A and B are shown apart, each in its own frame.
Chain A
Amino acid sequence: MSQIADPTVVPLRDPTILERMRSATVSLGRFLRGKPLGGSGLVVCVIFILVALLAPVIQRHDPDQIFEGPNPDYKANPTVIELARNPDIGSPVVVEQFIEPSGGHWFGTDKFGRDIWSQVIHGARLSLIVGLGASVIAVVGGLIIGMISAYYAGIVDLLIQRLVDMLQAIPFLVLVLVFTQITERSVLNVVLWLGVAGLAITTRLIRSAVLQVRESEFVLAARVVGASDLRIMIRHVLPNCVAVLIIAFSIGIGAYILAEASISFLGAGPQGIPSWGQMVQAGRGSLDLHPWQTVFAGSAIMLIVLGFNLLGDALRDVLDPRLRGA
């Protein structure tokens, strides 16, 4: 440490945690005021995250619990003909299926007598894990591949770009369907494959950002003073791509949630966990008489995707106005 204190230099000190929190609150407040739509998106996202975290507390019933009630038509010793007319007549209790939304079951019950509210609540967990997880994988992978592609131009770049073209020539849904079939359809695997399928888009976005930064004066200056490739990439290029990374991360989430819902709807989604897409499909069997399962599960998908899209749009406008409308 230097012993001589220079009076003209105001010592820089790290901001305290309190100051940091205050400055974060101020910028959050500015964001909410400047971007009311983005702010409402943020609120929707936060609500869904809270719902997912607190699912066991606010569920009211176990999502797998099958509700049974007394059979109004019960008859102790039914004749064969009565039994043929109504197969349930002989049992004193029946499954309480297709109950309308009421105080006991806020969203009603499904075909198997399970509480739809609890199922929708637990479905939020899967959607959030899938959306956030896949987006992280796609951005991190896209960052590595995009940087390599942009930095080592020439044959490597050309090959990666053609592979990206290949992935984009196949509809995203088909790509996801194929990938998720390769392994066992656990939640983790589905998240992983969704992220891999999303690599094409993030790689392209990040590559073009890196190409732009690479041409800037300060990268040239860094090279002049003899910085290594790796140092230039990490110290100079990467920090200047952070905005694009945040944008790529936030606008992808909604798309991954929709993709998971779609494959679940087609019966090829993750197994052993309540999924909104699968619930929409299950409710379709009795859509005309008992639409509640389809209506509520689908509304949940739309609302969560809406929230993340609004938030992503607002973040993009704030961080990179040039990309507006893209």
Chain B
Amino acid sequence: MQGYIIRRIIGAVFVVFLVGTFSFFAIRVLPGDFATASLGLDAGSASAENIAQRKADLGLDLPIGEQYANWLWDTVRLDLGTSFLTQNSVWYEIGRSLPYSIELGVLIMIVGFTVAIPVGLISAIFQDKALDYSLRGLAILALAAPVFWTAAIASLVVLQWDLFLIDVIGQPHLWEDPGRAITWYLIPMFAGGFAGTATTMRLLRSQMLEVLRQDYVRTARSKGLTESAVIIRHALRNALLPVLTVMGVTIATIIGSQVILENMFNIPGIGNKVLTSLFARDNPVFQSVVLIIAVFTVLTNLVVDIMYGVIDPRIRLS
């Protein structure tokens, strides 16, 4: 078991290193750089010397190998550098935006799972009944609808019937001003939850159908357990395991939709930082946020796999 965990950790660290390397080179391969772009704003002043000077200030004039070695050494020491755009340290930028993203991400997951688990369960219990078909139809729709469109239609509904005011300027946290924060998060959290967990619902349904056919479920029934005990204690617990294994994918999907939702609702989170730093060629911020997202997904996968190995000994052997 220990050997398995150690192997997995080494693999995870290597993947994070690859992602960091990828984002380092990706942002430099893109046409344009921050020095030229920032000088281009004040028209005419961007002479060749100015650009060269600016590049030297930002460390963009060094040979790419040296830049990479510097980046690697700094990152290993957890020094993420300074944002080109805001001149703040990258850690400060992340510290400010991460809470928003975690807040929204957790809300999306809560919405998603409180919908997906009962719906998947009901769908499996009423297999091939009208209820099953309509719930599955809903899941298929949820998979097909683009998250930005669901959010736009939800905003339209809110605007048309004047349900509540969507405050996209105050940017309060839930713990600061829950009343205003919730109106801000309400649409993105439902749109994200709707889109992010359709897969979970379908997977849970098919797993439940599988599990309900197993011998131990028949045993549980013949022992005279109530139907709810059979379904929740014996069937659901086993059916949820495979749902857990795709947690890493689910989280990556949710982060992907957060990039769009944070942009739409002016939420200053990590997803928004990905976009602004990418378009502004703010290298230090871009590298760091991509790295943090990768650490997050890789860590989720690692924890899930190790937990799975603990629960199910068959996995360790393969």
Contact = CB atoms under 8 A, between A and B. Distances in A.
Interface string A45-72: 0000000000000000000000000000
Nearest to A164: B15
A305 interface: yes
Q: Which of A162, A169, A262, A265 has the most CB of B within 10 A?
A: A169
A170 B156 contact: no
Contacts of A169: 15-16, 19, 252, 293-294, 297-298
Interface residues of A, number: 43
A261 B145 CA distance: 11
A258 B142 CA distance: 12
A174 B293 contact: yes
B144 A166 contact: no
Given A174-B259, A178-B26, A325-B205, A284 B152 contact: yes
B19 A166 contact: yes
Given A174-B293, A182-B30, A325-B207, A294 B156 contact: yes
Contacts of B278: 177-178, 181
A170 B294 contact: yes
Interface residues of B, number: 51
A174 B258 CA distance: 11
Interface string A231-253: 00000000000000000000000
B303 to A, nearest CB: 14
B263 interface: yes
A266 interface: yes
Contact of A287 (B141, B145, B159): B159
A291 B278 CA distance: 30
Given A170-B22, A325-B202, A309 B144 contact: yes
B60 interface: no
Contact of A266 (B145, B206, B255, B263): B263
A165 B13 CA distance: 11
A288 interface: yes
Contacts of A266: 260, 263, 275
Interface stretch (A92-100, A145-153, A295-303): A295-303
B18 A162 contact: yes
Contacts of B263: 266
Nearest to A37: B140
Contacts of A294: 149, 152-153, 156
Interface in A284-326: 284, 287-288, 291, 294-295, 298, 301-303, 305-306, 309-310, 324-326
A171 B252 contact: yes
A120 to B, nearest CB: 14
Nearest to A258: B146
B160 interface: yes
Interface in B9-60: 11, 14-16, 18-19, 22-23, 26-27, 29-31
A31 interface: no
B217 interface: no
B140 A162 contact: no
B14 A309 contact: no
A258 to B, nearest CB: 6
Contact of A170 (B19, B143, B249, B275): B19
Contact of B149 (A280, A288, A306): A280
A163 interface: yes
Contacts of A168: 249, 252, 297
B252 A325 contact: no
Interface string A206-237: 00000000000000000000000000000000
B144 A305 contact: yes
Contacts of A174: 256, 259, 274, 290, 293
Across the A-B interface, the 5 shortest Cβ-Cβ residue pairs: A325-B206, A298-B149, A171-B256, A306-B144, A166-B18
16 contacts: A169-B293, A169-B294, A169-B297, A173-B257, A182-B30, A261-B146, A262-B146, A280-B152, A281-B148, A287-B152, A288-B156, A291-B156, A298-B145, A298-B152, A310-B140, A325-B206
Given A171-B253, A182-B31, 17 more contacts: A165-B18, A168-B252, A169-B15, A171-B252, A171-B259, A173-B259, A181-B278, A254-B143, A258-B146, A265-B146, A283-B152, A288-B156, A295-B153, A298-B153, A302-B149, A310-B140, A325-B202
